[in-house]
Amino acid sequence: MAILVLLLVLPCLCGAGSGSAWAAQAAMPQGAKAAEANAPSLDVMIGSMLMLGFRGADLPEGDFFLQAVRAGHVGHIILFDRDVTTGGERNIISPDQVRQLTARLRAAAPGPLLIAVDQEGGRVRRLKPQRGFMDAPSARVMGASKPENTRAMGLRMGAEMASLGISVDLAPVADVNSNPANPAIGALDRSFSPNPAAVAAHALAFGEGLAQRGVIPALKHFPGQGGARNDSHLGVTDISRCWNADADLAPYAQAFAHGWPGMVMIGHLYHKGLDVRYPATLSRAVITGLLRGRMGWQGVVVSDDMQMKAITTQFGMEQAMLLAVNAGVDILLFGNNLYWDKELPRKAFDTLQKLVRSGRISRQRITESWQRITNLYSTRAAVARAAADGSAALYPWRQ
């Protein structure tokens, strides 16, 4: 595709990239002093790099997780409707209950709290019509229509999420459906199309629809896993033979060129031509070299769930967090749902804090992520106020 002419050198990972106009505007203030001057305590900045899940449809005073949020040790939240390990309910019961829960979380947070769900539509949606939420078609169904209709669906879904106090939708999927049998994407109708141009158009339209309602979209799963044969929930996903730079990077290049209004999610994807040693989530070559350098993305990067077996079968928590942050990840996502650990908020925060205090992760690196997160947060707050639809309540925090 023409939009990727400058990326044809990717297999050898050489050449310089050109950032989009949005990327230039979102670039961080020059110099460590400017960043430090506006920064809160180091602990709050460390906590802002953690997005965690928890059990329960409410959080009574004194709850362990709520205390971690109040202390700034858990900066962001992910909600689920079903508890994987028990098979029962988790955080989402009804619209009114979700509103009360998100309001309680926001009131407790000392910093810019983001509350996220996976709400793609179709088979991947945490807000289900059986619970009183709107119905939403799969990406495959949306992709068979016009991008204008996908934008309208994004607007509707964004309005609902904003009304519930949800500020991030971990969608849309930008994976090209090059393998319809892919158990994580194609087989679940999560891709808009096998045509990269169509995926690009629909992903951008969906994300812009969400953003117009003050909800932050997340383009996923970089650098692209549409052709994969296995699922990173279950183990390493090797895309070395099925990945195509022209096709798989097209949706990202298109989104960045049009000022993508959200964040980018990194997939636990291994490509020996991009990094012979590490999967994308832990790879400086992929995140800092390819995504930020050659493609010009200077916004927030969020990991896929760090509890997926693609990570946990090869790396301990400390090593995985060290590699991911130094590679360029801004928000580490731990769903605490694939397996449950009540102590996860303490463990995750203490581990990251230890890495910073020991010097293995620099304070400057933490400050960089803090700046990206707060830049995104303040931008979305302005959009929410402009929309005048009540979603300004999603962003009550002031630096």
Active site residues: 233, 304
Instruction: State which amino acid sits at residue 50.
Output: L
Crossing angle of helices 147-163 and 196-211, in 10° steps, is 30
Tokens of 124: 């991947």
Question: What CA–CA distance (Å, rounded) separates 224 from 176?
Answer: 7
Q: Report the phi/psi class of residue 83: left, alpha or beta, with left for phi > 0 and alpha for psi in -120 to 50.
A: beta
Tokens of 197: 């141009």
Asked whether the beta carbons of 210 and 119 are under 8 A apart, the reply is no
Asked whether the beta carbons of 356 and 46 are under 8 A apart, the reply is yes
- Output phi, psi for 120, to 5 deg: -85, -35
Question: What CA–CA distance (Å, rounded) separates 117 from 121?
Answer: 11
**Peptide bond just before 147 cis, omega within 30 deg:** no
Question: What CA–CA distance (Å, rounded) separates 12 from 255?
Answer: 24
Question: What CA–CA distance (Å, rounded) separates 103 from 394?
Answer: 9
Please give the angle made by the CA atoms of 255, 15 and 221, to the nearest 5 degrees: 35
